[in-house]
């Protein structure tokens, strides 16, 4: 089937051009850096004689909270930039013309992208979270069960997959990969923190970012927990995200099918 050929093509392009390194790099960088950074802070505080300051009192909760906060910005930023070619860049440089002229249907061409990138995004977020947890579990004396972070990791993975779907959708519909990446970056760097700061970020895909940051427990100087996580809200946000994602995919397939590629 054409869809499987398209998936194979997307995988080859992602790995042969080494864009997979940039795709996962932002998340893995924060997953490795944050645990070591927060592990070193108490030692730095002790050397400076300022251990009573909250900044230098860190634990595994702090390391995980720091990773989530950084991955929602740095990780998504790098991931979105690495996708500019897949998200409309192939229309700009005309590399999509050859498979389409050879008989590849436009619908399958674009659906193959949605079959590959969101899945890799979900797995990247999951693996980087496990990496951050494993390193922090090894470094810090007070151990925390992985189950404590279960709602956080699920929210993070679903949100990252949605960010990739949004990037692909905007890019494939407009043919401007750079514009789609900038839009998604602005959304997660400015709009989402603003909505969360105003406490009006609820029941939408971006609310998953707030839920992911709500690390329950003593997370040191990073004030991420606002009490018990509302699992009903989290479930509804995931459902809403799934519905919006499905609409975006179908809309993108329809627009791309009828789009004139100059």
Residue 140 phi/psi, 5-degree rounding, is -95, 145
Confidence bin at 155 (pLDDT 50/70/90): very high
**Are 201 and 155 within 8 A, CB to CB?**
no
254: left (phi over 0), alpha (psi -120 to 50) or beta: alpha
Average pLDDT, integer, range 38-46: 76
pLDDT of residue 32: 93
* Separation in Å, CA 169 to CA 88, 173, 246: 9, 6, 11
The tokens of 166 are what?
């949004």
Average pLDDT, integer, range 60-76: 88
Task: Encode pLDDT of 174-186 as tens digits.
Answer: 888 888 889 898 9
pLDDT of residue 242: 96
The tokens of 20 are what?
């997979």
**Are 164 and 118 within 8 A, CB to CB?**
yes
Q: What is the pTM of this model?
A: 0.88
**Are 250 and 244 within 8 A, CB to CB?**
no
Kindly tell me the number of DSSP H helices and DSSP E strands found in the chain. 12, 0
pLDDT of residue 225: 44
Going by the DSSP 8-state scheme, the letter that residue 221 receives in this structure is: T
């Amino acid at each position: 089937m054409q869809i499987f050929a398209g998936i194979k093509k997307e995988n080859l392009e992602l790995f042969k051009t080494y864009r997979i390194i940039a795709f996962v790099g932002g998340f893995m960088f924060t997953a490795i850096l944050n645990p070591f950074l927060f592990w070193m802070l108490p030692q730095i505080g002790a050397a400076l004689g300022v251990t009573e300051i909250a900044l230098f009192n860190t634990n595994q909760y702090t390391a995980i909270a720091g990773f989530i906060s950084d991955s929602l910005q740095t990780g998504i930023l790098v991931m979105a930039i690495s996708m500019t070619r897949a998200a409309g860049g192939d229309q700009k440089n005309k590399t999509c013309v050859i498979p389409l002229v050879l008989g590849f249907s436009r619908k399958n061409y674009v659906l193959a992208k949605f079959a590959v990138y969101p899945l890799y995004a979900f797995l990247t977020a999951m693996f980087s979270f496990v990496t951050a947890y494993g390193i922090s579990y090894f470094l810090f004396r007070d151990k925390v069960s992985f189950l404590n972070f279960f709602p956080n990791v699920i929210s993070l993975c679903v949100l990252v997959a949605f960010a990739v779907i949004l990037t692909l959708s905007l890019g494939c519909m407009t043919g401007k990969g750079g514009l789609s990446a900038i839009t998604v970056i602005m959304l997660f760097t400015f709009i989402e923190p603003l909505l969360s700061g105003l406490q009006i970020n609820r029941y939408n895909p971006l609310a998953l970012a707030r839920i992911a940051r709500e690390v329950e427990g003593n997370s040191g100087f990073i004030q991420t927990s606002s009490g018990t996580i509302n699992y009903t809200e989290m479930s509804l946000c995931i459902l809403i995200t799934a519905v919006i994602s499905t609409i975006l995919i179908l809309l993108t397939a329809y627009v791309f099918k009828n789009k004139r590629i100059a």
